[in-house]
Amino acid sequence: MAEVNDQHEYFVHVVASRYRSCVTVASPAAVAAVAALLRGRTWAALTGAGISTDSGIPDYRGPTSVRATPMQYSEFVGSLDAQRRYWARSYLGWHRISNAQPNAGHRVLADLELAGLAGVITQNVDGLHSAAGSRHVINLHGDIASVVCLECGERSARSELQRRLAKVNQPLDESLVLEHPELRPDGDAVARDWQHFQLVGCAYCAGRLKPDVVFFGESVPKWRVEEAYAFVERADVLLVLGSSLAVMSGLRFVRHQVKRQQPVVIINRGPTRGDELASLKIDGGCSETLAELRATLLA
Ligand SMILES: [Zn+2]
């Protein structure tokens, strides 16, 4: 017990020394150090694909991820064939994505609003934080359950589009089970026969439809970025969960927090681009580490 306490003191000391990166495995002492940093403070969470892997949504960049080349924004808007390919894959993958359930990590974060968590900024488009009951969520990269018209800007439900697509395309083979390598976080599953896929247009103006998510090569809307910065600035501590911070859209919030001389804690399996900037980094899974954190903070 004394040893655990000694370790605890050690980690609290490390956490207090800002800009000194410390990578550690998930241990009771490490979780206690994070809890000590969060207790009595306001904090924000920045989440990535790693928090949704336990819900069956694969990670693009985690240690177990399958390498996949995501469709670029310019490719999507510039070619009807690309749209056909995207929507054919999405049509097949929608069942899996729309049925994904929040996991323990999402639920713990919803509970932690009672322990100073001001809100969640997520790079995920799966809607699982809101489904788990988190009240303050910024969907940085949009929402896969929504569709936007590229011509008139009208937004509509992805589930409604699925019904319209089903009317003009082959019925789905219910026995088809898409495994991880065939399904990507944006619901873009592999489809072999996409050339014959029939697209449908906007129900209002017949314009081209795009999932209401930020594609690679597309900018996050400025107002949404500003909203996220405001979130971070209201927080004393930024907790990064399940993100390798590979893209600037997430890393910039870590840099901003460090510039404000406020601590950043990272919980992620594998290295991240923010490790050097973190006050404390736990190399471990989100669900189990968050469950321990809840037990400590809400004890
Ligand atoms: Zn339209």
CA 76 to ligand 1 center in whole angstroms: 17
CA distance 123 to 120: 10
Q: Strand order of the sheet with strand 155-157? A: 155-157, 142-149, 209-213
Is the separation of the CB atoms in 150 and 210 below 8 Å? yes
Note every long-range contact of 178-184, with CB atoms under 8 Å and residues 24 or more positions apart, other chains counting: 178/92, 178/93, 178/96, 180/58, 180/66, 181/66, 182/93, 183/57, 183/58, 183/93, 183/96, 183/97, 184/58, 184/60, 184/68, 184/70, 184/93
The tokens describing 293, both together, are 């954190």
Given the residues 13, 95, 141, 180, the one annotated as active site = 141
CA 299 to ligand 1 center in whole angstroms: 51
The burial of 40, by beta-carbon neighbours within 10 Å (0-12 exposed, 13-18 middle, 19 or more buried), is given as: exposed
- Residue 278's closest CA among 49, 11, 28, 7? 11
Q: Residues 6 or more apart from 15 whose CB is under 8 A from it?
A: 22, 33, 34, 36, 37, 263, 265, 279, 280
CA distance 277 to 22: 10
CA 212 to ligand 1 center in whole angstroms: 13
- Residue 178's closest CA among 264, 280, 95, 259? 95
* Angle between the N-to-C axes of helices 104-111 and 286-297, in degrees from 0 to 180, rounded to the nearest 10: 30
Whether 95 sits among the annotated catalytic residues: the reply is no
**Confidence (pLDDT) at 162:** 94
CA distance 286 to 52: 9
Amino acid at the residue 210 = K
Is the separation of the CB atoms in 244 and 48 below 8 Å? yes
**Confidence (pLDDT) at 184:** 57
Q: What angle do CA 292, 104, 230 make, to 5 degrees?
A: 85
In DSSP terms, 155 is beta-bridged to 148
CA 201 to ligand 1 center in whole angstroms: 8
CA 106 to ligand 1 center in whole angstroms: 34
Q: How many C-beta atoms surround the C-beta of residue 137 within 10 A? A: 22
**Confidence (pLDDT) at 293:** 94
**Confidence (pLDDT) at 200:** 96
Q: Tens digit of pLDDT per residue, the chain (299 long)?
A: 334 344 444 444 444 444 445 567 778 889 999 999 999 999 999 999 999 988 988 665 444 444 456 788 999 999 999 999 889 888 888 888 889 999 999 999 999 999 999 999 999 999 999 999 999 999 999 999 999 999 999 999 999 999 999 999 977 654 454 444 445 555 555 556 677 889 999 999 999 999 999 998 899 999 999 999 999 999 999 999 999 998 888 999 999 999 999 999 999 999 999 999 999 999 999 999 999 999 999 88
